[in-house]
Chain A
Amino acid sequence: MELFTYLLLSGLTTGSLYALIALGIVVVNKSTGMINFAHGELFMFSGFVAWMLHVQMGMGYLPSFAIAVAIGFALGAVTNLIAARPMRNADVVGLVLATIGLAFVFRGAARVIWGGKSDYLSFPPITSPDPVTIGGVMVIPQQIAVLAGAIVIMLVFAAFFRLTRAGKMMQATADNAKASRLVGIRIDRIYMLSFGTGAAIAAAAAVLMAPLTLLYPDMGFSFFIKGFAAAVLGGLTSLPGAVLGGFCIGIIEALAGGYISSSFMEVSAFIVIMFVLVLRPTGLLSFGKLRQV
């Protein structure tokens, strides 16, 4: 039972990170129909911005967090402006290449700006680094902070979508872009808002996780792949699905590593995804119709 508890907690913590990344991917996809392949690099870049503010410049954690999220939003908007918007009428390959190209630009910029500081940059935890015992289980307080922070971000985001005018317009655009345009919604702004919001969520995830994951310029892609897998598992247009997918992948990885073999950890989640997609191609929580290609 102790083994299961530890593995479950470990899976939930890692899963919350995957869920946040997946959430950002789904927000963009749901509103614009595009996958932002620079999402992982936006996550990485925002983490470095927070590190620069908090560690190098000595700014407090919360202001650093807020500024990093704001910069994340701005970078997302820039991604829309220079990679997505000009390619909106291009074919899928063009759209994919545009965001992949931008991902390389962000990675290159991070290598030049922060690549000479250390191999892996450490980010001080917001909690005590000493493990504590909760209900007989040893945990690192930062893990609890990450889990709690991720849940708060998800709730804030859900409230934004349901309660704010901008959130409702994003939902309307996601449901039917043409109809939204007819009722006066400025679609271009909504697309920009979607890219910005997706990147802001990635930024929040990066700042939360940096003390646990360390920072390095090449980290973006591997996180993107896990987040993308979570989004696919949950259904690429379902926000609750993205969260569920993230937690599922985190927990499957941990349990497979603990009970089967650590060599099986990396592939286990993808095997489950393959089975799920064979049985339910739209993902766990997406109820949209399949389009025949």
Chain B
Amino acid sequence: MATGQGVKGAAIGLLMTVAAMQAVQAQVPGVTADTIRIGSFGALTGPGYLYGKLPMNGIEVVFDEVNAAGGINGRKLQLVREDDRCDPAAAIGAVKKLVSEDNVFALIGGGCSNATFAAREVLDQAKIPLIVMASVHDGITTPVAPAIFSTALTSTLESQAQLEYAISQNAKRIAVVSMRDAWGRARYTPLMEAFQKKNIKPVADEEMAPDANDATAQVLRLKAANADAVLIVLYPKPAAIFMRDAQKLGFKPLAIGQSGIADPAAFEDQVGSPGATTLFRTISMVRYTPEDPAVDKWRKAIEAKFPGDRLSVFNLFGIGSAEVMVEGLKRAGKDLTREGLVAALDKLTDFPTGVYGAGITCTTSDHRCNKAPVWIAKEPGKPVRVLGVTKVE
């Protein structure tokens, strides 16, 4: 009788413990006994889809792989997508919806810089962990927001890397052609500071509008300045116009781009002038090109899940950030909380993802976790190739 009462008491105690644990778990948004809901925001439509939809496709294949292996601590990962159309107001709305209506546990997202930057205040208020997958605006991670981490490069890091690269290639007369809108300013200002720190004066400093249809004036001025390297702070469209007109006018400097022009193969098509991109180098956030055998696994996964798609560098942005999220979730343990995830991400040191130029390191005082811009180029008729990595401090 006493034994029977003891068993009964133990069973009741166990049930109460489980119920209590479930009650605690139920208070963690987006987490159930068998799922973790992760939100993502970025452009799903419009030209910015490269930095939104494609990284999200990358995230999805990483989640599929994790789920196929049993999930994280028995929980499967679910991805909820929201379209911000690269629009600041839409990004704020998307974050609010993911947090309040979709009740996600954490976020991996941020495609277009200005849109993500606009959403920072809402993110700060929600205290929801975010891993930035593609946005580079400095203001997203500086000053440090306790719950926002970036595996994307930042505009300051890229600007410094552009100048470092030009110097490393023995350029003596370095010029700049830039856009001066919010996106351009976020890169142009740190670039000028980098010039100042190195005590170098650009031999020419030209401006182009985002919608420019001709760059004859800019090219002629740079040519007159006898520039041997041009740092390009432009969107792909004006950059393509610039490269095309440079070719037309026989101006052939070392042309150094940034991650705004992250697909040299597509860029070659956009320029449309044979040989015009021979001396064009640009920054990628990842160390592999889509053709590299090292990313075969991801190529197959993307092509299987999204028929008609081909693996792109933009998928790899998402794959890298998802790997970091998965690692953070694993380290945060079974009793998952947002604070636990933030603490786990804060302690990542040289974490080796399968895609970035170097290990991912975050600290409590610096959430710019990727500081290794990768240089890529494409010679006419040849595949994109990786030239090297610049580690920026």
Contact = CB atoms under 8 A, between A and B. Distances in A.
Contacts of B220: 3, 6-7, 258
Nearest to B211: A222
B85 A140 contact: no
A118 B266 contact: yes
Nearest to B248: A131
Contact of A130 (B45, B49, B217, B274): B274
Nearest to B208: A262
B47 A119 contact: yes
B364 interface: no
Interface in B153-172: none
Interface string A251-272: 0001011100111011000000
B237 A7 contact: no
A116 B237 contact: no
Contacts of A119: 47-50, 236, 266
Interface in B98-112: none
A277 to B, nearest CB: 23
Nearest to A261: B207
A112 B48 contact: no
Interface string A110-148: 011001101110101100011100000011100000000
B209 to A, nearest CB: 5
A9 B206 CA distance: 20
B372 to A, nearest CB: 24
Interface stretch (A157-165, A181-189, A207-215, A280-288): A207-215
B46 A111 contact: yes
B250 A111 contact: no
**B53, B213, B237, B273 — which one has the most chain A CB atoms within 10 A of its CB?**
B213
Interface in B58-89: 85
Interface residues of A, number: 44
A106 interface: no
A131 B217 contact: no
Nearest to A8: B216
A265 B212 CA distance: 10
B120 to A, nearest CB: 24
Given A140-B244, A263-B180, A263-B207, A257 B237 contact: no
Interface residues of B, number: 36
Contact of B272 (A14, A122, A254, A265): A122
Contacts of B269: 122
Nearest to A113: B45
Interface in B257-305: 266, 269-270, 272-274
A10 B212 CA distance: 12
A150 interface: no
Q: Which of B46, B53, B217, B247 has the most CB of A within 10 A?
A: B217
A6 B214 CA distance: 11
Contacts of B217: 7, 10, 254, 256-258, 262, 265
Interface string B238-258: 001100100111100000000
Is chain B's interface secondary structure helix, strand, loop, or mixed overall?
helix
Contacts of B211: 219, 222-223
Contacts of A111: 45-46, 85
A111 B43 CA distance: 11
Given A119-B236, A120-B237, A214-B237, A262 B218 contact: yes
Prevailing SS type, chain A contact patch: helix
Contact of B273 (A130, A216, A222): A130
Contacts of A17: 213
Nearest to A264: B207
A99 interface: no
B53 A138 contact: no
A115 B211 CA distance: 17
Contacts of A211: 272
A258 B221 contact: yes
Contacts of A258: 216-217, 220-221
B163 to A, nearest CB: 20
Contacts of A216: 47, 237
Query: What are the nearest 6 A-B pairs in CB distance?
Result: A257-B217, A10-B216, A222-B211, A119-B47, A258-B217, A111-B46
29 contacts: A6-B220, A6-B249, A7-B220, A13-B214, A14-B213, A14-B214, A17-B213, A115-B45, A115-B49, A116-B49, A119-B49, A119-B50, A125-B272, A131-B247, A138-B250, A140-B273, A211-B272, A212-B213, A214-B237, A214-B240, A216-B237, A254-B216, A254-B217, A256-B217, A258-B216, A258-B221, A261-B207, A262-B206, A263-B180
Given A112-B45, A120-B270, A138-B249, 19 more contacts: A6-B216, A10-B217, A14-B214, A111-B45, A115-B47, A116-B45, A116-B53, A118-B47, A119-B266, A120-B47, A120-B236, A122-B272, A125-B272, A129-B273, A217-B46, A223-B211, A254-B217, A258-B217, A262-B206
